[in-house]
Amino acid sequence: MLGFGLMAGLFGFVPAQAAILYVDKDNGCPGTGTSQAPYCRIQNAFNVASAGDTIRIRDSATPYDESATAARSGTSVNP
């Protein structure tokens, strides 16, 4: 019997790896969304996030003062 990974490769289906995106408004812009170079705005993370991704917003001494709109919706199994 073929393993799932081999079967997925044969049929062109490879499950996407969920990403963790980081936001820290006190970090320099634009950032890359990693923990070492987080995005400086929540909207930047929303613009690249896909279904199943996690956005971690770092605490700050002052509130985040921005409006943000999710560009995509869905779940990791139903994008």
Residue 38 has pLDDT above 60, yes or no: yes
Report the pLDDT averaged over residues 55-72.
Answer: 90
- Of 6 and 31, which is predicted with more confidence? 31
Strand locations in the chain (E): 20-23, 54-57
Would you say the pTM of this structure is higher than 0.85? no
**Banded model confidence at residue 3, pLDDT cuts 50, 70, 90:** very low
- Rounded distance, CA 5 to CA 12, Å? 10
Q: Where are the domains of the chain?
A: 16-79
What would the mean pLDDT of 49-61 be, rounded to a whole number? 91
